[in-house]
Structure 1
Amino acid sequence: MTMVYRMARHEMRLFVSLALWLARRTQGTAGGRAFGYARGQGATLLGLAFVCVVETVGVSFMLRDMPLAHDVLLVVDVYSVLFVIGLHAAGVVRPHVLTGDALRVRHGAHADLRIPLASIAAVRRETRTTHQPEPDALDLIVGSQTTVTLELAEPVTHTSLLGRRRPVRVVRLYADDPGALVQALSAR
């Protein structure tokens, strides 16, 4: 039951993000400096949404003589389009946020990790396009790459979408302006 609850909560966050995106608002950025990461995924996700719309029209045309199947698949297809647009919206309205005492690293509605600034041992601009799974590393990949690497003096706990907890000592993330993020972190 917990997994179903977590998935439903995740989907609700996507649709809330869609509403915030339409209202041109962000979430959780008050009192801090925001660093976006949505540009790296925007073209891909909006292209996927376009393909979903084309598929919706095609399936609707093919099933025009089967009203029940047409209606069911229309609902599923419209939901899919909104879901994909919601993924992009979540990236736009939930940027990384640097406050006076912590860096809030986010990845859409999937991840939200608060890293105390005192725990950051090293920060560097590092573009990586291949990521081998490591037990103590968290890779928040956007557009098949990460651009900033954080090495932590003490581990922080990351909770996955389905509730699995694990300590991480290295966080790799994508930022639209990695130089500005690295400079801001180095200054603190």
Structure 2
Amino acid sequence: MVRPHVISQRELRVRYSSFYDVRIPRENIISLRYLKESHDPLKVKAFRGETWLSHDNYYDTNLVAELREPITVTRPLGKTETVRVLKFTADDPKAAVEAYERLAFS
């Protein structure tokens, strides 16, 4: 089963299989932008400060969502973290940003 990320007029959902489903209300998002980064798997931790790195694509991310207010994210084994920045991967990050911007004015 595939559970892709979802962008709507109400929220951004960052999902990965059954491991996590993070819902962020649009009014809490300052920006969603394309930024391709590789994160060294030996040095990176899934949560660093208030930044969450989604590891669904071998430590590469290409989207960054910056939030107005921190949110609580539940990790796969139940522990929670407070984050203000989410870094994750989309198959077509530029199209995701365009959809996010287009839906903001709908």
TM-score by length of 1: 0.49
Tell me the SS of whatever aligns to 1:183. Answer: helix
For 1:84-123, what aligned pairs fall within 5 Å after superposition? 93-123=2-32
In the alignment, structure 1 residue 164 sits paired with structure 2 residue 79: yes
- Number of residue pairs aligned between Structure 1 and Structure 2: 97
Aligned residue number for residue 147 of structure 1: 62
Aligned residue number for residue 174 of structure 1: 89
Q: Note the alpha carbon deviations across 1:119-162, whole angstroms, 9 max, x for none.
A: 11112100111164412111113133001001101111100111
Larger RCO, structures 1/2 (Cα 8 Å, 6+ apart): 2
For 1:12-161, what aligned pairs fall within 5 Å after superposition? 17=1, 93-130=2-39, 132-133=44-45, 134-141=48-55, 142-161=57-76
Q: Runs of 5+ in structure 1 lacking a partner?
A: 1-16, 18-92
Contact 2:30–2:67 (8 Å) recurs in 1: yes
CA distance in 2, matches of 1:101, 1:165: 23
Tell me the SS of whatever aligns to 2:87. Answer: strand
CA distance in 2, matches of 1:184, 1:154: 23
CA RMSD of aligned residues (A): 1.4
Q: Following TM superposition, by how much is the alpha carbon of 1:106 offset from its aligned partner in structure 2, in angstroms?
A: 0.3
Q: Following TM superposition, by how much is the alpha carbon of 1:96 offset from its aligned partner in structure 2, in angstroms?
A: 0.4
The runs of at least 4 consecutive aligned structure 1 residues that moved more than 4 Å come to none
Contact 2:8–2:100 (8 Å) recurs in 1: no
Amino acid at match of 1:175: A
Q: Following TM superposition, by how much is the alpha carbon of 1:180 offset from its aligned partner in structure 2, in angstroms?
A: 0.6
User: Max radius of gyration: which structure?
Assistant: 1
CA distance in 1, matches of 2:7, 2:33: 16
CA distance in 2, matches of 1:119, 1:127: 23
TM-score by length of 2: 0.83
Tell me the SS of whatever aligns to 1:115. Answer: strand
Q: Following TM superposition, by how much is the alpha carbon of 1:102 offset from its aligned partner in structure 2, in angstroms?
A: 0.4
Amino acid at match of 1:166: E
